[in-house]
Amino acid sequence: MADEEGAKGSPFLHLPMHLTLSEQCNIDQPQGICQTVELLTARLDSLHDAHRANMQ
């Protein structure tokens, strides 16, 4: 797995990032995170890409 710059990413960090964002959306903490992820998902047409964009 590689990011946009071609650097190797760690799957041991990548998966927890997705799980953390999913949990944050479930409880909407910090407030507004769920709406942000939903809007990014619609704009990027990918939940995976929305999660990555949210972490940048």
Give the pLDDT confidence score for residue 8 in this predicted structure: 60
The answer to the question of residue 46 being in a domain is yes
The answer to the question of residue 7 being in a domain is no
The answer to the question of residue 5 being in a domain is no
pLDDT tens sequence across 3-55: 444 446 777 888 888 899 999 999 999 999 999 999 999 999 999 999 888 87
Give the pLDDT confidence score for residue 35 in this predicted structure: 94
**Whether the bond into 30 is cis, omega within 30 of 0:** yes
The answer to the question of residue 2 being in a domain is no
Host domain of residue 22: 12-54
The answer to the question of residue 4 being in a domain is no
The pLDDT confidence band at residue 2, using thresholds 50, 70 and 90, is very low
Q: How many domains does the chain have?
A: 1
